[in-house]
Amino acid sequence: MRLGRRGFLRMAGVTAGTGLLAATRAQAKVPQATEEDTLPGVLVDTTRCVGCRACEAACAETNQLPAPPEGDEVMKTRRDMSQTAFTVVNRADAPGGGDRFGKKQCLHCLAPACASACPVRALDKQPTGPVTYDASKCMGCRYCMVACPFDVPKYEYEALAPRVRKCTFCAERQAEGLPPACVDACPSGALTFGKRHVLLEEAKRRIYSEPERFVHRVYGEREAGGTSFMYISDVPFEALALPAGVPEKPYPSLVAGALGAPPLVMTLWPPLLMGLYAFSKRRDEVAAGEQGHDQEDHHG
C-alpha cells in the first residue's frame, strides 16, 4: 500500500494533537505540593510521649478496628502498622536511661508517592490535606505499597475483596472541624494539630531553645518532598522506626521525566516511522529501477 503525502501529514497531525493533549493532562494531574502553608499537620514531639498508647486505642475506635493489645509487653518488640492497626507506638532507649516512644502512621505526604502511583486514583490527596482511599475504585494492584517510602499501606490479603488500609488523617473528623482522634486522645501533649507552617516554626523553636538536647532536624520537613506529620526527637529517628535515607525530592518528580516520554513518543514516532517507511520504499524503487543490480545489495 502507499500512503500519500496528504495522508501522511494528516496522520502526523492527529497523533501530534493527541500527544500534546496527553502532555498537558499528565502535567495537570501530577499531585503538587500546593498551598502547603495552609494545610493541616501534626507535630509529634517524641520527648513528650509517655508511651500510654491512648492514640492507638482512639484510632482503633474511630476506625472500627480491633482494640490494640493491652499491657506493656508489646513494647518489647518493634511493631509495624497492619491492616487492622493504622498507628503503632514503638519504644527506644533514651539518652541517660529511660524510654522514648514514637508513634507511627501514614505521614500524609504533601506530594504522596502512593497517590501518584495509583493508576485509578483510589488513593488521592485531598485539597484539604488528608491522603484518602476509596475501595470502590481500587483494583488491588498494590503499587501504592511498592511506592510508599514509609511502608505505610497495608493489604487485606486474607479477604476476597481486599482493601488497602492506612491512616486517613481522620478526614471526616477534620471536615467537622475536629482534630484527628489520636491527637484528641493524647494526654501528654506529644501531639499537636494545626497548620503545617505554624507547627514547623514551633518545632524549630523547641529545637533551638534546647539545642544540646534535640536532634537538629524536623523529620518530615523535607522527606519525600515534605509530609503533614512531622517529628522532633532526642534519639535518632531510625530508632523510632522512621526510615532513614528517604530522598527529599517529591516522589512524583521521580517519574515525571519518564512520564514526559509518552507524549513525545506519540508525537514523534508516527512521522519518524512513516519517514523510515517512505525511505525504505524509495530505496526499493531505486533498487528495482537500477538494472543488473541485485536488490539484496541495498539491504545490507
Partner 1 sequence: MASAHAGALGQPSFFREKILLGMSLPEYLRSLITPFNLVAAAILAVGVPSLIYRFAAGLGASTNLSQAYPWGLWIGFDMMTGVVLAAGGFTIGASVQLLGLKQFHAIERPAILTAFIGYIMAVVGLLADLGRPWNIVMALVNAGAASALFEIAWCVMCYTTVLLLEFTVPFFEWLGWRRLHAVLKKALLGLTVLSVMFSTMHQSALGSLFLLAPTKLHPLWYTPFIFIFFFISAILAGISMVIVESALSHKVFARRMEGQPHVDVAAITVGLGKAGAIVAFAYFFLKLQGVIDGHAWGYLLTGYGALFLVETVGLVLVPSLLFAWGARHGKVGHIRVAATLTLVGIVLNRLNVSIFAFNWQHPVRYVPSWMELAVSLTLVTVGVLAFRWICNRMPILFEDPAFSHDE
| Cα atoms in the 13 Å half-sphere on the side-chain side of 75 | 19
Nearer to partner 1, 149 or 194 (CB): 149
- Which amino acid belongs to residue 112? P
Identified binder of partner 1 from the candidate list 209, 258, 291, 294, rule CB under 8 A? 258
Tell me the C-alpha distance between 36 and 204, whole Å: 17
Residue 255 found at the interface with ligand SF4 (CB under 6 A): no
> E strands within 220-292?
229-232
**Interacting stretch for partner 1, rule CB under 8 A, among 57-65, 91-99, 152-160, 191-199?**
152-160
Burial grade of 202 (CB within 10 A; 0-12, 13-18, 19 or more) = middle
What b-and-e string marks burial along 241-276, b requiring 16 or more CB atoms within 10 Å of the CB?
Answer: bbeeebeeebbbebeeeebeeebeebbeebbeebee
For 11-37, the three-class secondary structure string (H helix, E strand, C coil) is: HHHHHHHHHHHHHHHHHHHCCCCCCCC
Give the one entry of ligand SF4, partner 1, none that residue 270 binds, where binding means its C-beta sits below a cut-off of 5 to 8 angstroms depending on kind. Answer: partner 1
Among the listed ranges 16-24, 71-79, 133-141, 172-180, the one in contact with ligand SF4 (CB under 6 A) is 133-141
Candidates 68, 112, 179, 250: give the one binding ligand SF4 (CB under 6 A).
112
Cβ 1 to ligand SF4 shortest distance, Å = 42
Q: Assess 262 for contact with partner 1 (CB under 8 A).
A: yes
In whole angstroms, give the CA distance from residue 102 to residue 90: 5
> Is residue 170 near ligand SF4 by the rule CB under 6 A?
no
Q: Is 85 in the site for ligand SF4 (CB under 6 A)?
A: no
Partner interacting with residue 154 (select from ligand SF4, partner 1, none; CB below 5-8 Å by kind): partner 1
- Footprint of partner 1 on residues 194-233 (CB under 8 A)? none
Residue 57, contacted partner among ligand SF4, partner 1, none, CB below 5-8 A by kind = none
**Residue 281 contacts partner 1 per CB under 8 A:** yes
Binders of partner 1 among residues 87 to 116 (CB under 8 A) are: 113, 115-116
| Backbone phi, psi, residue 43, to 5° | -100, 125
With CA atoms as reference, report the closest residue to 66 among 85, 53, 51, 81.
85
How many residues bind to ligand SF4 according to rule CB under 6 A? 26
> Which of ligand SF4, partner 1, none lies near 108, with the C-beta cut-off 5 to 8 A by kind?
ligand SF4
Q: For residue 84, what is its C-alpha cell?
A: 487492622
Q: How far is CA 110 from CA 35, 41, 173, 252, 260, in A?
A: 10, 10, 20, 11, 22
Buried b (16+ CB within 10 A) or exposed e, 210-236: eeeebeebbbbbebbbbbbbbbbbbbe
Give the residue, chosen from 44, 55, 89, 144, that forms a contact with ligand SF4 under the rule CB under 6 A.
144
Which one of ligand SF4, partner 1, none interacts with residue 284, CB within 5 to 8 A by kind? partner 1
Secondary structure (3-state) at 300: coil
Q: Nearer to ligand SF4 by C-beta: 143 or 269?
A: 143
Residues of this chain that bind ligand SF4 (CB under 6 A)? 106-109, 112-114, 117-118, 120, 122-123, 131, 138-144, 148, 150, 152-153, 164, 166
